[in-house]
Amino acid sequence: MTAAAVACGLLLPLGAMAQNRVFEQTVQLDSGGRLSVEANKGSLQLTAWDREEVEIRARIEAPQNVSADYARRAVEATRIDVSGSGSSVRIEPDYSDVPYREDRWNDNSRSIPFIHFEISAPRQIRLVAESDRGPATISGFEGDLDIETDRGEAMLRDLSGRVQIVIDRGDSSRVEGLSGLIDLEADRADITMRNVTIDDDSRIEIDRGDLEIDLSENQALTLIADLSRRAEFESDFPVTMQSMDGRDFRGTINGGGPELLIESDRGRVRLRSIP
């Protein structure tokens, strides 16, 4: 071991020598209850099951580019707060006890650990899920669903009900098996949507990204498009125009049905017809 390494306090490029820690807890949550999840720096895997309980597993992983001693203390100081049971449960990380780094390079700053969540929850649910700085996979839920991701790819599967999705800086994200009322906002992300059924008035807004959405060839819609001059729109479906103003228009697909408002700026939107 070199003197330089000793002087640097054994800096760990990948935190490999630091001890990780696993948190596990199971709490009751009624079917149709409310679950709030906040994931910050790491990953989120949230899966539906047919039990009236929430099972939480969180792997707390040492931050990168810190000394072995700091990594150990940061992991030990990180907490997972789980509050409530029965009709409402909230899950969130608590970094308040993570120590500050006091060295000549990082004066009074902190490096928080990664947290990788694996959570199972009742299928029928009122869900509020927020994921930041990491990938998020959410699947199998029915109900009132609010999902927000930032700085990480989203993979959303088999969701139904009133589904509100916000994806910011989501790289190439996918939504598969979505049905009901859809409210999707995406910025700086390319979104692929497969096997989508629109049963109620819905809205899709995309800025600085491309959207491709697959709909059944029999899907009936009233389509409203609000397109900037920098947006492109393509449709496999014949659209019967009702009104047009510049690049904005209103028309029907398969005789008309629930309204779908599409707003786009600096992106391309394509509707694909699937047999």
Closest CA to 135 of 115, 148, 151, 114: 151
Cβ atoms of 136 and 149 within 8 Å: the answer is yes
* pLDDT score for 18: 47
Examine the pLDDT at 6 and tell me if it is beyond 90: no
Residues 6+ apart with CB under 8 A from 58: 22, 23, 24, 80, 93, 115, 116, 117, 118
* pLDDT score for 109: 84
- 3-state secondary structure (DSSP) of residue 50: coil
Residues 6+ apart with CB under 8 A from 7: none
Residues 6+ apart with CB under 8 A from 226: 248, 261, 262, 263, 264
Q: Tell me the per-residue pLDDT of 174-196, one tens digit each, with 9 for 90 and over.
A: 999 999 999 999 999 999 999 99
| Alpha carbon distance 129, 143 (integer Å) | 13
Q: Tell me the per-residue pLDDT of 86-113, one tens digit each, with 9 for 90 and over.
A: 999 999 999 999 999 876 565 678 999 9
Question: At 2, is the pLDDT very low, low, confident or very high (cuts 50, 70, 90)?
Answer: very low
Confidence (pTM): 0.90
| Alpha carbon distance 145, 213 (integer Å) | 20
| Alpha carbon distance 271, 220 (integer Å) | 13
